[in-house]
Amino acid sequence: MKKILVIGGGTGGSIVANNLSRQLSAKIRDGEVDITMLSASDKHMYQPGLLYVAFGEMMPDELYRDQASLLESSINFHVDPVEQFKLDENWVKTKSGKTYDYDILVIATGSRVMPNKTPGLSEGAHSFYTEKGAVELFKGLRDFEGGKLAIVVGVPHKCPIAPVEFTFALDQYFKDRGIRDKVEIKYHYPINRIHSIENVAKWAKPEFDKMGIEYETLFNVEEVDVENKIVKSMEGSEYKYDMLVSIPEHHGMPVIEDNDLGQNGWIPTDRHKLTMNGHDNVYVIGDTTNLPVSKTGSAAHFEAESVATNIASIIKIGTPVTEYDGKVMCFIEAGHEATYAKFDYLNPPDLKTPNKAMHWLKMSYNKMYWTSVRGLL
């Protein structure tokens, strides 16, 4: 029997497991293949929804489903996080003390925010990257009656489009409340344009100008002086704020670093095969890779499809049949309109003009995600 072990029940892990379950259904039925998933949680969160929670447009409970309900019935699912990887011996050990051996391993453990890496950021800044943070940010915005609101961005961070989306949403939120003229929005970004994707930067800059949003580039947060409400950059500038919102620096999960699988929790990964460097039977997908690809559910989705196809073909005909081409497709919310960016390793994003239809498609996708993560969309 071939044993496939999937570590992590987020977007990437769920799609890879569900796709494999369907592609290998006959072999699972005949006892030739076993798929097991180990996760740290019995719940699955739709993380992009946190942006809407931050503006009171979604409630936190709308973001969750029971993980088991999202998986094909042939997948053995256990809430028992892995603590030890023995890649040379093809087994892992979990928190409960059980060991699981495998023929093929998929690591999809995701990432986490690390505001504590920047002095003062945890205490001085809001963030919408956790449920608690998004709810507190909404309460902070609701109580904000005017003044200087600063946005700062750590490196690396999940969902690179989020800083721009959040800033557009802020403008709309204060307009809707009728106090936009009392709020000074200042956007700070680590590199020398206002978004990493050149086309997004070219489009967003005049939009920011129209909205009266100030921006400063080459601003990498060094520390926050919480008492005096001043945020300082490594490049030597500083800004005095009344309210600070951060997209914090991200790291991979501690179990990856604890097992020396990759610095800061990012596993060195082949950009086309998605195998861990030096381990041909270990695949890495989603945020967990060290690839120069956006850390987004979209990247995890396309990576998972590629990995599932290859694992299934290896089991059926002894060889992989496809390669990951770097594909990512991200919606970009811009107030009550939206657009999208789609790109891969060879083709840059070709940005379309934002429109209301794309916004409603994104709102629909917020519901359709649950079909997507089952591997059906």
Binding site for other proteins (CB under 8 A): 155-156, 160, 190-192, 196-198, 218, 220, 234-236, 249, 263-264, 292-294, 326, 328, 341, 343, 345-346, 348-349
Inter-helix orientation angle 162-177/198-211, to 10°: 20
Minimum Å gap between C-beta 134 and other proteins is: 23
167 and 127 Cβ atoms separated by less than 8 Å: no
Smallest separation, CB 90 to other proteins (Å): 28
**Closest separation in Å from C-beta 333 to other proteins:** 16
Which long-range contacts does 96-101 make (Cβ < 8 Å, 24+ apart)? 100/3, 100/5, 100/36, 100/38, 101/3
Residue 174 beta carbon to other proteins: minimum distance, rounded to whole angstroms: 28
Closest separation in Å from C-beta 360 to other proteins: 25
DSSP 289: B
The letter for the amino acid at 305 is E
Closest CB to other proteins among 77 and 215? 215
> Residue 234 CB, nearest distance to other proteins (Å)?
6
Nearer to other proteins, 167 or 290 (CB): 290
- Nearest Cα neighbor of 198 from 353, 358, 341 is 341
Q: Report, in Å, the least distance between residue 282 CB and other proteins.
A: 20
Residue 291 identity (one-letter amino acid):
L
Given CA atoms 351, 113, 301, 41 in this order, what sign does their dihedral have?
Answer: negative
For residue 101, give Cα distances in angstroms to 88, 166, 259, 339.
11, 43, 17, 45
* Least separation in angstroms between CB 318 and other proteins: 30
Nearest residue (CB) to other proteins, 276 versus 341:
341
Comparing CB distances to other proteins, the nearer of 74 and 277 is: 277
DSSP structural state of residue 47: G
- How many whole angstroms separate alpha carbon 285 and alpha carbon 299? 8
Q: Which is nearer to other proteins, 164 or 373 (CB)?
A: 164
Q: Rounded CA gap, 293 and 266, in Å? A: 12
> Nearer to other proteins by C-beta: 251 or 279?
251
Q: Which is nearer to other proteins, 126 or 251 (CB)?
A: 251
Tally of CB atoms within 10 A around 97 = 8
Distance, CA of 266 to CA of 189 (rounded, Å) = 23
Nearer to other proteins, 110 or 190 (CB): 190
Tokens found for residue 334? 């811009």
